[in-house]
Amino acid sequence: MASKIKSLLTLLIGLTFIGPIAVAETFVTIGTGGVTGVYYPAGSGICKLINSDLPSHDIRCAIESTGGSVYNLEQLAIGGLDLAIAQSDVLFHTYHGTGDSGDTPGHTTLRALFAIYPEPFTVVARADSGINSFEDLKGKRVNIGNPGSGQRDTMEVIMQAYGWTVSDFSLVSELRSAEQSKALCDDKIDAMVFTVGHPSRSIKEATMTCQTKIVSVTGPIIDELIEKNDYYRKATIPGGMYDNNPTDITTFGVGAIFVSTTNLPNQTVYGIVKSLFDNFAAFNALHPAFSNLTKAQMIDENLPAPLHEGARKYFMEKGLL
Protein backbone atom coordinates (compact mmCIF):
# COMPACT_ATOMS: atom_id res chain seq x y z
CA MET A 1 0.00 0.00 0.00
CA ALA A 2 2.73 2.37 1.05
CA SER A 3 4.56 1.73 -2.18
CA LYS A 4 1.35 2.39 -4.13
CA ILE A 5 0.91 5.72 -2.38
CA LYS A 6 4.54 6.48 -2.98
CA SER A 7 4.32 5.76 -6.67
CA LEU A 8 1.10 7.79 -6.90
CA LEU A 9 2.88 10.65 -5.22
CA THR A 10 5.85 10.27 -7.54
CA LEU A 11 3.50 10.31 -10.49
CA LEU A 12 1.74 13.43 -9.24
CA ILE A 13 5.01 15.21 -8.59
CA GLY A 14 6.23 14.08 -12.00
CA LEU A 15 3.09 15.41 -13.67
CA THR A 16 3.44 18.73 -11.92
CA PHE A 17 6.92 19.04 -13.34
CA ILE A 18 6.32 17.60 -16.79
CA GLY A 19 2.78 18.89 -17.28
CA PRO A 20 3.22 22.58 -17.98
CA ILE A 21 6.34 22.08 -20.14
CA ALA A 22 4.73 19.39 -22.30
CA VAL A 23 1.62 21.48 -22.86
CA ALA A 24 3.57 24.56 -23.91
CA GLU A 25 5.75 22.85 -26.51
CA THR A 26 4.89 23.15 -30.19
CA PHE A 27 6.03 20.33 -32.45
CA VAL A 28 6.83 21.06 -36.07
CA THR A 29 7.88 18.68 -38.83
CA ILE A 30 9.89 19.77 -41.87
CA GLY A 31 9.39 17.83 -45.11
CA THR A 32 12.72 17.41 -46.91
CA GLY A 33 13.80 14.99 -49.68
CA GLY A 34 15.93 11.90 -50.21
CA VAL A 35 18.75 11.33 -47.73
CA THR A 36 21.54 11.93 -50.29
CA GLY A 37 20.11 15.26 -51.47
CA VAL A 38 20.61 18.64 -49.81
CA TYR A 39 17.05 19.19 -48.47
CA TYR A 40 17.53 16.38 -45.97
CA PRO A 41 20.80 17.55 -44.34
CA ALA A 42 19.67 21.17 -44.71
CA GLY A 43 16.39 20.45 -42.93
CA SER A 44 18.25 18.51 -40.28
CA GLY A 45 20.60 21.44 -39.66
CA ILE A 46 17.69 23.89 -39.52
CA CYS A 47 15.95 21.69 -36.93
CA LYS A 48 19.12 21.45 -34.88
CA LEU A 49 19.37 25.23 -34.74
CA ILE A 50 15.69 25.60 -33.84
CA ASN A 51 15.93 22.93 -31.13
CA SER A 52 19.04 24.48 -29.62
CA ASP A 53 16.92 27.59 -29.03
CA LEU A 54 14.07 25.60 -27.43
CA PRO A 55 13.97 27.54 -24.14
CA SER A 56 13.25 30.78 -25.98
CA HIS A 57 10.27 29.56 -28.02
CA ASP A 58 9.27 26.03 -26.92
CA ILE A 59 9.25 24.83 -30.51
CA ARG A 60 10.57 21.32 -31.08
CA CYS A 61 11.49 20.46 -34.63
CA ALA A 62 11.85 17.14 -36.49
CA ILE A 63 12.48 16.27 -40.14
CA GLU A 64 10.99 13.75 -42.48
CA SER A 65 12.66 12.26 -45.57
CA THR A 66 10.18 12.57 -48.45
CA GLY A 67 9.81 12.17 -52.22
CA GLY A 68 10.59 15.87 -52.77
CA SER A 69 9.01 19.24 -53.59
CA VAL A 70 5.71 18.18 -55.13
CA TYR A 71 4.98 15.75 -52.33
CA ASN A 72 6.05 18.29 -49.69
CA LEU A 73 3.74 21.03 -50.94
CA GLU A 74 0.78 18.67 -51.27
CA GLN A 75 1.34 17.54 -47.70
CA LEU A 76 1.68 21.11 -46.45
CA ALA A 77 -1.62 22.00 -48.10
CA ILE A 78 -3.49 19.16 -46.34
CA GLY A 79 -1.75 19.62 -42.98
CA GLY A 80 0.49 16.53 -43.18
CA LEU A 81 3.59 18.71 -42.71
CA ASP A 82 4.12 22.05 -40.96
CA LEU A 83 7.13 23.26 -42.94
CA ALA A 84 8.98 22.06 -46.01
CA ILE A 85 11.72 22.83 -48.48
CA ALA A 86 10.54 23.09 -52.06
CA GLN A 87 11.66 24.30 -55.47
CA SER A 88 10.57 27.80 -56.49
CA ASP A 89 9.02 26.56 -59.78
CA VAL A 90 6.99 23.87 -58.02
CA LEU A 91 5.91 26.36 -55.37
CA PHE A 92 4.78 28.80 -58.05
CA HIS A 93 2.66 26.18 -59.81
CA THR A 94 1.22 24.65 -56.64
CA TYR A 95 0.28 28.07 -55.25
CA HIS A 96 -1.38 29.18 -58.49
CA GLY A 97 -2.78 25.81 -59.54
CA THR A 98 -0.95 25.97 -62.85
CA GLY A 99 1.59 23.66 -64.44
CA ASP A 100 1.41 20.27 -66.09
CA SER A 101 -1.54 18.91 -64.17
CA GLY A 102 -3.70 21.64 -65.73
CA ASP A 103 -6.38 23.64 -63.96
CA THR A 104 -6.15 22.38 -60.40
CA PRO A 105 -7.26 24.76 -57.68
CA GLY A 106 -4.29 26.69 -56.30
CA HIS A 107 -3.12 26.06 -52.76
CA THR A 108 -3.32 29.66 -51.68
CA THR A 109 -2.63 28.99 -48.00
CA LEU A 110 1.03 28.28 -48.87
CA ARG A 111 3.47 30.88 -47.54
CA ALA A 112 7.18 31.41 -48.13
CA LEU A 113 9.48 32.10 -45.16
CA PHE A 114 12.68 32.77 -47.08
CA ALA A 115 14.71 31.59 -50.05
CA ILE A 116 17.60 29.29 -49.26
CA TYR A 117 20.13 28.36 -51.98
CA PRO A 118 20.14 27.84 -55.78
CA GLU A 119 19.34 24.41 -57.19
CA PRO A 120 20.84 23.87 -60.65
CA PHE A 121 19.16 21.27 -62.86
CA THR A 122 21.92 18.67 -62.87
CA VAL A 123 22.36 15.97 -65.50
CA VAL A 124 25.00 13.29 -64.84
CA ALA A 125 25.81 10.80 -67.59
CA ARG A 126 28.03 7.75 -67.80
CA ALA A 127 31.30 8.61 -69.56
CA ASP A 128 30.76 5.69 -71.97
CA SER A 129 27.22 6.77 -72.91
CA GLY A 130 28.15 9.30 -75.59
CA ILE A 131 26.03 11.91 -73.84
CA ASN A 132 27.63 15.38 -73.93
CA SER A 133 24.61 17.64 -73.65
CA PHE A 134 20.93 17.53 -72.70
CA GLU A 135 19.93 16.90 -76.36
CA ASP A 136 22.01 13.71 -76.34
CA LEU A 137 19.62 12.16 -73.81
CA LYS A 138 17.32 11.31 -76.71
CA GLY A 139 17.28 7.54 -77.31
CA LYS A 140 19.12 6.82 -74.04
CA ARG A 141 18.22 5.15 -70.74
CA VAL A 142 17.28 7.99 -68.43
CA ASN A 143 16.06 8.26 -64.85
CA ILE A 144 13.52 11.06 -65.00
CA GLY A 145 12.85 11.11 -61.24
CA ASN A 146 10.13 9.77 -58.98
CA PRO A 147 6.67 11.29 -59.18
CA GLY A 148 6.50 13.78 -56.29
CA SER A 149 10.02 15.02 -56.83
CA GLY A 150 10.97 18.45 -58.06
CA GLN A 151 13.37 17.06 -60.67
CA ARG A 152 10.52 15.09 -62.23
CA ASP A 153 8.53 18.29 -62.53
CA THR A 154 11.44 20.25 -64.01
CA MET A 155 12.28 17.36 -66.36
CA GLU A 156 8.70 17.25 -67.66
CA VAL A 157 8.80 20.96 -68.38
CA ILE A 158 12.04 20.61 -70.38
CA MET A 159 10.79 17.52 -72.22
CA GLN A 160 7.67 19.41 -73.20
CA ALA A 161 9.75 22.36 -74.38
CA TYR A 162 11.83 19.98 -76.53
CA GLY A 163 8.67 18.26 -77.82
CA TRP A 164 9.76 14.97 -76.27
CA THR A 165 7.71 12.29 -74.54
CA VAL A 166 8.92 9.31 -72.53
CA SER A 167 8.99 7.27 -75.74
CA ASP A 168 11.91 9.42 -76.93
CA PHE A 169 14.11 7.53 -74.47
CA SER A 170 15.09 3.87 -74.93
CA LEU A 171 14.29 3.30 -71.26
CA VAL A 172 12.75 5.47 -68.60
CA SER A 173 13.07 4.86 -64.88
CA GLU A 174 11.44 6.69 -61.97
CA LEU A 175 13.94 6.02 -59.22
CA ARG A 176 14.08 8.24 -56.17
CA SER A 177 17.07 10.55 -55.82
CA ALA A 178 18.84 8.30 -53.30
CA GLU A 179 18.71 5.32 -55.69
CA GLN A 180 19.88 6.86 -58.91
CA SER A 181 23.66 7.12 -58.54
CA LYS A 182 23.85 3.36 -57.89
CA ALA A 183 21.69 2.62 -60.95
CA LEU A 184 24.02 4.87 -62.99
CA CYS A 185 27.19 3.16 -61.79
CA ASP A 186 25.61 -0.30 -62.15
CA ASP A 187 25.00 0.57 -65.82
CA LYS A 188 21.23 0.28 -65.44
CA ILE A 189 20.78 3.80 -66.82
CA ASP A 190 22.90 6.15 -68.98
CA ALA A 191 21.95 9.36 -67.20
CA MET A 192 20.25 10.76 -64.15
CA VAL A 193 18.71 14.16 -63.49
CA PHE A 194 18.51 15.97 -60.17
CA THR A 195 17.45 19.51 -59.33
CA VAL A 196 19.68 19.94 -56.33
CA GLY A 197 21.98 22.29 -54.42
CA HIS A 198 25.72 21.71 -54.54
CA PRO A 199 27.67 19.97 -53.25
CA SER A 200 25.25 17.08 -52.84
CA ARG A 201 26.05 13.56 -51.67
CA SER A 202 24.07 12.04 -54.53
CA ILE A 203 26.23 13.77 -57.18
CA LYS A 204 29.37 12.95 -55.17
CA GLU A 205 28.42 9.26 -55.22
CA ALA A 206 27.75 9.36 -58.96
CA THR A 207 31.06 11.06 -59.77
CA MET A 208 33.25 9.14 -57.30
CA THR A 209 32.00 5.59 -57.79
CA CYS A 210 32.28 5.34 -61.57
CA GLN A 211 33.31 7.31 -64.67
CA THR A 212 30.67 9.96 -65.20
CA LYS A 213 30.38 13.54 -66.34
CA ILE A 214 28.06 16.38 -65.54
CA VAL A 215 26.65 17.69 -68.82
CA SER A 216 25.46 21.15 -69.79
CA VAL A 217 21.81 22.10 -70.27
CA THR A 218 21.90 25.11 -72.61
CA GLY A 219 20.63 26.38 -75.96
CA PRO A 220 17.75 28.43 -77.36
CA ILE A 221 15.00 26.26 -75.84
CA ILE A 222 16.46 26.65 -72.37
CA ASP A 223 17.05 30.39 -72.95
CA GLU A 224 13.39 30.79 -73.80
CA LEU A 225 12.31 28.93 -70.64
CA ILE A 226 14.48 31.25 -68.56
CA GLU A 227 13.15 34.32 -70.33
CA LYS A 228 9.51 33.35 -69.88
CA ASN A 229 9.62 32.22 -66.25
CA ASP A 230 10.86 34.34 -63.36
CA TYR A 231 11.73 31.33 -61.25
CA TYR A 232 14.33 30.01 -63.72
CA ARG A 233 17.88 31.34 -63.79
CA LYS A 234 21.07 30.48 -65.61
CA ALA A 235 23.19 28.41 -63.24
CA THR A 236 26.72 27.09 -63.02
CA ILE A 237 28.03 23.97 -61.36
CA PRO A 238 31.59 24.88 -60.42
CA GLY A 239 34.40 22.86 -61.97
CA GLY A 240 36.43 20.88 -59.47
CA MET A 241 33.58 20.49 -57.00
CA TYR A 242 33.16 16.85 -58.03
CA ASP A 243 35.69 14.17 -59.02
CA ASN A 244 36.53 13.99 -62.74
CA ASN A 245 34.55 17.14 -63.49
CA PRO A 246 37.20 19.88 -63.67
CA THR A 247 35.34 22.48 -65.77
CA ASP A 248 32.39 24.74 -64.97
CA ILE A 249 29.11 23.39 -66.33
CA THR A 250 26.38 25.74 -67.51
CA THR A 251 22.79 24.80 -66.89
CA PHE A 252 19.71 26.52 -65.51
CA GLY A 253 18.10 26.26 -62.14
CA VAL A 254 15.56 27.23 -59.55
CA GLY A 255 15.78 28.24 -55.89
CA ALA A 256 15.11 26.17 -52.79
CA ILE A 257 12.47 27.90 -50.68
CA PHE A 258 11.54 27.35 -47.04
CA VAL A 259 7.75 27.06 -47.02
CA SER A 260 4.82 26.79 -44.62
CA THR A 261 1.14 27.73 -44.67
CA THR A 262 -1.18 30.22 -43.00
CA ASN A 263 -2.08 27.38 -40.59
CA LEU A 264 1.26 27.69 -38.79
CA PRO A 265 0.74 30.56 -36.32
CA ASN A 266 2.68 33.78 -36.85
CA GLN A 267 4.25 33.44 -33.43
CA THR A 268 5.65 29.99 -34.27
CA VAL A 269 7.06 31.14 -37.60
CA TYR A 270 8.51 34.23 -35.92
CA GLY A 271 10.28 32.02 -33.36
CA ILE A 272 11.69 29.75 -36.07
CA VAL A 273 12.94 32.59 -38.26
CA LYS A 274 14.45 34.34 -35.24
CA SER A 275 16.36 31.21 -34.20
CA LEU A 276 17.88 30.94 -37.67
CA PHE A 277 18.61 34.59 -38.42
CA ASP A 278 19.76 35.59 -34.93
CA ASN A 279 22.33 32.79 -35.22
CA PHE A 280 23.32 33.41 -38.81
CA ALA A 281 26.95 32.32 -38.52
CA ALA A 282 25.75 28.96 -37.22
CA PHE A 283 23.20 28.87 -40.04
CA ASN A 284 25.93 29.44 -42.64
CA ALA A 285 27.90 26.56 -41.15
CA LEU A 286 25.01 24.06 -41.36
CA HIS A 287 25.82 22.84 -44.88
CA PRO A 288 28.37 23.79 -47.58
CA ALA A 289 25.44 24.91 -49.78
CA PHE A 290 24.65 27.50 -47.07
CA SER A 291 28.15 28.81 -46.56
CA ASN A 292 27.99 31.84 -48.89
CA LEU A 293 24.39 32.81 -48.24
CA THR A 294 23.63 36.33 -47.09
CA LYS A 295 20.47 37.54 -45.37
CA ALA A 296 19.83 39.89 -48.29
CA GLN A 297 19.81 36.98 -50.77
CA MET A 298 17.38 35.02 -48.67
CA ILE A 299 14.83 37.67 -47.80
CA ASP A 300 12.67 38.58 -50.72
CA GLU A 301 9.13 39.90 -51.00
CA ASN A 302 8.85 38.48 -54.50
CA LEU A 303 9.02 34.79 -53.78
CA PRO A 304 6.60 32.47 -55.65
CA ALA A 305 4.16 32.51 -52.70
CA PRO A 306 3.37 35.40 -50.32
CA LEU A 307 5.66 35.93 -47.36
CA HIS A 308 4.43 34.39 -44.08
CA GLU A 309 3.35 37.17 -41.71
CA GLY A 310 5.43 35.69 -38.88
CA ALA A 311 8.56 35.92 -41.02
CA ARG A 312 7.63 39.42 -42.21
CA LYS A 313 7.31 40.60 -38.59
CA TYR A 314 10.86 39.45 -37.78
CA PHE A 315 12.38 40.88 -40.98
CA MET A 316 10.63 44.24 -40.41
CA GLU A 317 11.77 44.42 -36.78
CA LYS A 318 15.36 43.86 -37.89
CA GLY A 319 15.11 46.38 -40.73
CA LEU A 320 15.69 43.62 -43.27
CA LEU A 321 12.57 44.44 -45.30
Judged by the rule CB under 6 A, the positions of this chain that interact with ligand GLU are: 33-34, 37-39, 68-69, 87, 119, 149-151, 177, 195-197
Nearer to ligand GLU, 126 or 198 (CB): 198
Nearer to ligand GLU, 59 or 191 (CB): 191
Least distance CB 307 / ligand GLU (angstroms): 21
Q: Give the Cα-Cα-Cα angle 89, 195, 120 (nearest 5 degrees).
A: 90
Least distance CB 174 / ligand GLU (angstroms): 13
Dihedral of CA 321/297/32/302: which sign?
positive
Least distance CB 304 / ligand GLU (angstroms): 13
Q: 152 and 146 in contact (C-beta within 8 Å)? A: yes
Count the neighbouring beta carbons within 10 Å of the beta carbon of residue 19.
Answer: 11
Least distance CB 87 / ligand GLU (angstroms): 5
Nearer to ligand GLU, 252 or 315 (CB): 252
What is the rounded distance in angstroms from the CA atom of residue 23 to the CA atom of residue 271?
17
Nearer to ligand GLU, 149 or 180 (CB): 149
Least distance CB 253 / ligand GLU (angstroms): 10
Burial (CB count <10 Å: 0-12, 13-18, 19+), residue 183: middle
Nearer to ligand GLU, 67 or 310 (CB): 67
